[in-house]
Amino acid sequence: MGSASAEALRGEPVRTPLQRHIADLKRRLYWCGFTFIVACVLTFPHADEMITWLKKPYHDDLIFYAPTEAIFAAIKVALLGGITLSMPVFLYHLWKFIEPALLPGERRWIVPFLAIASVFFAMGVSFANFVIVPLALQFMLQFGIDRALVPQLGVGFYVDFNVKFLLTFGFAFELPLAITLLSRLRVVTPDLLARYRKHAIMVNLILSAILTPTSDLFNLLLMAGPLIILYEVGILCARLFGRPPAPPAEEMDEPVKVPEGTAGRRILFFVVLVAGLASGGALAQLSPGGVLDELGPESFVSIQSLALGEGQTVYAGSFGRGVFKSEDGGKSWTAVNEGMTDPYVYVVAVAPDKAVFAGTLRGGIFRSKSGGKSWTPVNAGLERLETQVLFHHQGVLYAGTGSGVFRSKDSGERWEADNQGLSNLLVRALVVDHQGTMYAGTTGMGMYRKLAGSAQWTRITPSRLSHPRDQLPANFVRSLVVDKTGTLYAGTADNGVYVSTDRGDTWRIIGGQLANASVRGIAIGEPSWFVGTGIGMYRSSDQGKTWMQVNNGLTERAIQSFAVGKDGTVYAGTSGGVFKTEDHGAHWVSTNQGIATSRNPAPRH
């Protein structure tokens, strides 16, 4: 007996088929909503475990900036868990809603449908978390690190970033199944989908631009590329498993054939090509933070600091792999990290008494009195552990930290603040001139100066008498050097090198190719001067008057640090390991034996 007849017998108003479908839809939506709420309540207590799983591509600590950020992050992952846990119920009610339109033989597919759809959703979420999210993080973190920025991600942003990608790819992996189902219902045909391929590609690009957590082209293509590929897989599945179209009536026009070489195929080729090149470029420059630790066993690491010991001894501090040591001038390297709990090393320094110090991102300062064989943390008195500068002067060890300058007179056993006028600033560079004046380069606040015998730091502000082009900008000052005449050189981020002959009162900029360079290091010696930048090495043979690029053989040009030996040998630390030159930069050779294949474990928290 039909539904209409049953309603008439019960004395109820007879509803139209459309009204019955709407009522059925509302009932199923209520069930889906109730299931989703229950699933979210069940997953909320496990938010910590889910955040840990989401955090697998990123090995650093997550922080929160607002009192409510942590709880909202937990709510977001609970929503993700609720959707995942409720997916079989959602799919069941979807199937039951469309079941009347299926043939009797097709209605038996409910169990395979639920199983395949649930597996596809889980595959999409896993694919996003272990492939797409690491690539996206790699691209963005590398961009910031190359510009001397410290990666510190908030838990709210990180969870939001992940959840958007994971949900998008979870549902996107249902696309082939959805297209196949629509084809069985004869809502669409493979020829129709192929005919409107270019429109589908455009819709995918628009949706990717809306759903992508960031606004850059790389992440847009990371999302759009797989969506377009899944669309093509859906067309193939529709051809293989869809219901054959009914034969057209004789009076109907001949079905439109899909032309070869349509604009849609050209757009698809372009998107896949660009996405492939972008992904390959990102994988070729792995993040110093170790975001992609699992990808590529032969990956180079980013060398943030180099320090020269006695003879042929060289120490290299890496961002994510700790400290490496070479005793043969860089020909071979050995990881020396026993006792070092933080492998994210910013700076390595060798003291006059041969003790080796390493400043790290989270673990503070470590000291080795055994040439790197074992390390001991020496952080007593430090306020913030992040240390990016270590500098010796007249028996005193100075440390540039995230809360200013600290000094130690007992080889790091005890630190005391030297911060009057400078506290709460991240110090990136320290130097002392011949008159005892100390200069500090900071992140975002330019330079500070402390006169000999004074405890007060004062900020060096732009002189009103100088041309605006020659004013030292309130910027990121990453390197400071004083030559034998007392001239002060300051390397800035994206503004080149500035020179002062009056202790910072007035400045002039070095023009030419260095005018807008991101400077990572300056070395002044005889007979050549060197400047390391984000696009390679520069050399001057006339005391800084003219500069030329010297990058022959330097296959990785993102210079992070370099050191010049007494014999003129130059070691360059880059985002792709260590390079060495013995002819003043005319020819560089890669010296990464032991670095390229070392896989020290990244920290787990």
Structure-model confidence comparison of residues 153 and 591, the more confident one = 591
Q: What is the mean pLDDT of residues 523-537?
A: 85
- CA dihedral for 10, 13, 14, 16, sign (positive or negative): negative
Structure-model confidence comparison of residues 22 and 255, the more confident one = 22
Residue 555 in 3-state DSSP?
coil
Please indicate, yes or no, whether residues 352 and 271 belong to a single structural domain of this protein. no
Please indicate, yes or no, whether residues 350 and 275 belong to a single structural domain of this protein. no
- Domains held by the chain: number: 2
Residue 149 confidence class, pLDDT cut points 50, 70, 90: low
Q: Please tell me the number of Cα atoms within 13 Å of 467 on its side-chain side.
A: 5
Work out the angle at residue 205's Cα, subtended by the Cα atoms of residues 199 and 209, and round it to the nearest 5 degrees: 145
First vs last C-alpha separation in the chain: 64
Position 101 scores a pLDDT of 66
Say whether pLDDT at 135 is over 90. no
Residue 562 inside a domain? The answer is: yes
Please indicate, yes or no, whether residues 200 and 310 belong to a single structural domain of this protein. no
- Shortest CA distance to 240 belongs to which of 175, 195, 184, 193? 184
φ/ψ of residue 547, rounded to 5: -135, 150
Residue 295 inside a domain? The answer is: no
The model carries a pTM of: 0.57
**Do residues 65 and 73 touch, judged by C-beta distance below 8 A?**
no
Residue 255 in 3-state DSSP?
coil
Give me the helix-helix angle, 69-98 and 155-172, nearest 10°.
10
Instruction: Give pLDDT tens digits for 200-221.
Output: 888 878 877 776 666 667 767 7
Please indicate, yes or no, whether residues 134 and 25 belong to a single structural domain of this protein. yes
Please indicate, yes or no, whether residues 206 and 334 belong to a single structural domain of this protein. no
Please indicate, yes or no, whether residues 478 and 575 belong to a single structural domain of this protein. yes
Position 68 scores a pLDDT of 84
Q: What is the mean pLDDT of residues 79-98?
A: 81
Please indicate, yes or no, whether residues 275 and 325 belong to a single structural domain of this protein. no
The Cα–Cα gap between 25 and 443 comes to 58
The Cα–Cα gap between 294 and 599 comes to 10
Residue 93 is part of which domain span?
A: 15-244+263-284
Residue 382 confidence class, pLDDT cut points 50, 70, 90: very high
